[in-house]
Structure 1
Amino acid sequence: MNAAPVLLAYSVAVGAGAPHLLLRSAWPHRAPALGATVWLALILSFTVAVTLAAAQLAAPTGHLHAGLVGLLHACGLDAPEPTASGPTISGRLAVAMPLAVVAAFGGAFLFHLARSGLLRARHRDRLDKVGTRCERLRATVLPHAVPGAYCLPGFRPRIVVSDAAVRLLTAEQMEAVLEHERCHVAGRHHLPLAATEAFATVFPWLPLARLARTQMAVLLEMTADDRALRRQSDETLATAVYEMAAARTPEGAIGAGGSTALLRMKRILGPRPAPHPALRGSLASAALTAPLLPLLVACPPGI
């Protein structure tokens, strides 16, 4: 049986249907780290499904039997015995088409990582000239009239605050802001952001790509807020976010203010009931198994 139609239908469900269902759900804002993980799982599941569908379209008579073993066979990685005629055209396509999908996504991911890394390196050089290192804050203080804070993740991470923020914010507010930025650095949040940007580059017309890119940024900000709230009160963080809402974040950096400030303030000051443990466990399990579902769709057990 050719699994391409089933895989394409699954891709449509994951790429167009699942994102809208997830967007209408309330639980991602109550568990933002888990929500970000689910978005990444959908991206990976869609990519695997499209890769397998490409292999099946190139070799319609092939069969992705026994899950991963079948995938290796379809990609020609199981070292089959050589034949006198050599690989067929369909065999070459069965390898080339899925590899093209993987290479496009992987290349876009590396491109966005390299581009943002270069922007951050240039910004660090400018900070070395105009900024002042503050050991008390463990951050670089930058002369600027607008209160703001951001971090430069990756290699040689750095947290930056404006001198206006230092003057305006209380000690508790500043600590909440710094803890927020430390979460971005420690969690390597630039990596999932680069992954969603890469996915949107390869599939710009796909609802999953468009929504994942915007939702990932929001959920990672909420994840950093939750870490800051472990040490500071809701009011302290909310007022700090309010003071820095007008601040602009340099390209390649991750900032504490910006366009998500109002949504985050409402969340911080409102009720934030945690998802039921059963729901959390089910969602975590779904996120772990979603990338493998296309294999089961392509080759159900017993076939």
Structure 2
Amino acid sequence: MTALLSLLLLGFLLSTVAPGRLARARWAEREPVLALCVWQCLVVAVLLCCLLSLLLAGAAALPELRTLVFSGAPHGVEAAYGLAGREGWGRLVAGLLAAGGLWTAYSLTREVLAARALRGRRQAQLDHRAPEIPPQLKTRRKSAGRRGGDRERLVVLEDASPEAWSLPGPGARLVVTTQALRQLTDGELAAVLSHERGHVRARHHWLAQCAEALAAGFPGVAMFTAFRDQVGELIELAADDRAARLHGRLTTAHALVELNSGRGVFGPCPSPLSSTRAPQLTAQAPRRVDRLLAGEPRLPVDHRLRLTLAALAAPTTALLLAAAPGLTALLRLG
């Protein structure tokens, strides 16, 4: 049972200690893509601990499953895990973990279906409201999309508010209002579209949906709440960086200010039609502008490499803990 207890302890430590330290890390704003990778590795490691614990607990509770799991293993490997005679403990742990797994699957399915239905309604509204792209915009559209192709459909929406956003999924759309076209220069428009195109092409909506599903399904787990909040911030920073690399930090910052002029506080261009971003991100835009204007350099390559290896170490450790008794038994036999 050592492997089972070790996995449960590792999952507990990763879900309680690591999220707070990661959320306070100052380097995350300088490397939002890497920070997203670290968060995903952390969540995967915790889920992997639960899944492997469920497998071992189920093997302890059900002799038939234990025989199936260790079928083909050399003599002594099964005994190294110490699962025999632990049926009562195994049933308790397996029952709790199985219930959590089913609830996670239900939460993810519910979130995906709800998001898909919402995107369908908003796309239908856009089809009803959006006019054809005027001829004078085609030159600007070509300029804004000349880097990296133009796979997404650009939609112009008649509106008195300067806004721009994206609708991800099949037939992704980049939406810009007529007032935004009046206020933005060609360079600023290109930066805005690059920002939204970054969301679409990086599949940020998938990550946001998974984070929202985990946070909604397990509201008492601080790690999943922190994961959702951090993902909401980091995907905006990552998209800002993409636009800044292509069109400059100053131009991107000016575009962000222009899109939020007259609102009293900068925001991520929310729209009743199509924004899927959390309302609390509205207050984040001043920090995004300051960050763009500050232009802090990226972390050194060796620092990024160390962080990447540390992130990958979390799920790797879970796998090693699960395999450790069997590997030790094989070494002894050898």
Which residue does the alignment assign to 1:277?
Answer: 301
Q: In 2 relative to 1, CA 242–13 (structure 1 residues): closer, same or farther, beyond 3 Å?
A: same
Which residue does the alignment assign to 1:302?
Answer: 328
Q: In 2 relative to 1, CA 214–249 (structure 1 residues): closer, same or farther, beyond 3 Å?
A: farther
Which residue does the alignment assign to 1:110?
Answer: 109
Which residue does the alignment assign to 1:28?
Answer: 28
Check whether the contact 2:29–2:234 (CA below 8 A) recurs between aligned residues: yes
Check whether the contact 1:177–1:237 (CA below 8 A) recurs between aligned residues: yes
Question: How far has the Cα of 1:74 moved from its partner?
Answer: 5.4
Identity percentage of aligned residues: 31
Match of 2:199 among 166, 184, 189: 184
Which residue does the alignment assign to 1:70?
Answer: none
Question: How far has the Cα of 1:89 moved from its partner?
Answer: 7.1
Which residue does the alignment assign to 2:119?
Answer: 120
Mapping 1:13-92, distance limit 5 Å: 13-57=13-57, 76=68
Q: In 2 relative to 1, CA 198–77 (structure 1 residues): closer, same or farther, beyond 3 Å?
A: farther
Establish whether residue 167 from structure 1 lines up as the match of residue 182 from structure 2.
Answer: yes
Question: How far has the Cα of 1:76 moved from its partner?
Answer: 4.6
Question: How far has the Cα of 1:302 moved from its partner?
Answer: 2.3
Q: In 2 relative to 1, CA 191–283 (structure 1 residues): closer, same or farther, beyond 3 Å?
A: same
Query: 1:176-196, CA deviations, whole angstroms, 9 ceiling, x for partnerless residues?
Result: 000111111111111111111
| Bigger CA radius of gyration | 2
Question: How far has the Cα of 1:297 moved from its partner?
Answer: 2.8
Match of 2:164 among 149, 157, 175: 149
Secondary structure, in 3 states, of the residue corresponding to 2:237?
Answer: helix
Secondary structure, in 3 states, of the residue corresponding to 1:278?
Answer: helix
What is the letter of the counterpart of residue 229 of structure 1?
A
What is the letter of the counterpart of residue 118 of structure 2?
L
Question: How far has the Cα of 1:23 moved from its partner?
Answer: 1.3
**Distance in 2, Cα, partners of 1:184 & 1:239:** 19
Which residue does the alignment assign to 1:195?
Answer: 210
Check whether the contact 1:36–1:216 (CA below 8 A) recurs between aligned residues: yes
What is the letter of the counterpart of residue 169 of structure 1?
L
Query: 1:249-270, CA deviations, whole angstroms, 9 ceiling, x for partnerless residues?
Result: 3476456x83321121111111
Which residue does the alignment assign to 1:206?
Answer: 221
Query: 1:63-115, CA deviations, whole angstroms, 9 ceiling, x for partnerless residues?
Result: xxxxxxxxxx75955668xxxxxxx9768888766554443323322321221
Q: In 2 relative to 1, CA 113–248 (structure 1 residues): closer, same or farther, beyond 3 Å?
A: same
Q: In 2 relative to 1, CA 89–297 (structure 1 residues): closer, same or farther, beyond 3 Å?
A: closer
Which residue does the alignment assign to 1:67?
Answer: none
Gaps of 5+ in 1: 63-72, 81-87
Q: Give the helix-richer structure, 1 or 2.
A: 2
Which residue does the alignment assign to 1:66?
Answer: none
Secondary structure, in 3 states, of the residue corresponding to 1:5?
Answer: helix
Q: Which of structures 1 and 2 has the larger relative contact order (alpha carbons within 8 angstroms, sep 6+)?
A: 1
Check whether the contact 1:43–1:199 (CA below 8 A) recurs between aligned residues: no
Q: In 2 relative to 1, CA 164–75 (structure 1 residues): closer, same or farther, beyond 3 Å?
A: farther
Q: In 2 relative to 1, CA 253–77 (structure 1 residues): closer, same or farther, beyond 3 Å?
A: farther
**Distance in 2, Cα, partners of 1:32 & 1:3:** 34
Check whether the contact 1:152–1:159 (CA below 8 A) recurs between aligned residues: yes
Check whether the contact 2:61–2:91 (CA below 8 A) recurs between aligned residues: no
Check whether the contact 2:125–2:273 (CA below 8 A) recurs between aligned residues: no
What is the letter of the counterpart of residue 237 of structure 2?
M
Query: 1:202-239, CA deviations, whole angstroms, 9 ceiling, x for partnerless residues?
Result: 32212211111011011111111111112212121111
Query: 1:250-301, CA deviations, whole angstroms, 9 ceiling, x for partnerless residues?
Result: 476456x833211211111113221121121122233334223222234435
Establish whether residue 263 from structure 1 lines up as the match of residue 287 from structure 2.
Answer: yes
Match of 1:249 among 252, 271, 294: 271
Secondary structure, in 3 states, of the residue corresponding to 1:161?
Answer: strand
**Distance in 2, Cα, partners of 1:252 & 1:139:** 14
Secondary structure, in 3 states, of the residue corresponding to 1:259?
Answer: helix
**Distance in 1, Cα, partners of 2:66 & 2:297:** 47
Q: In 2 relative to 1, CA 139–244 (structure 1 residues): closer, same or farther, beyond 3 Å?
A: same
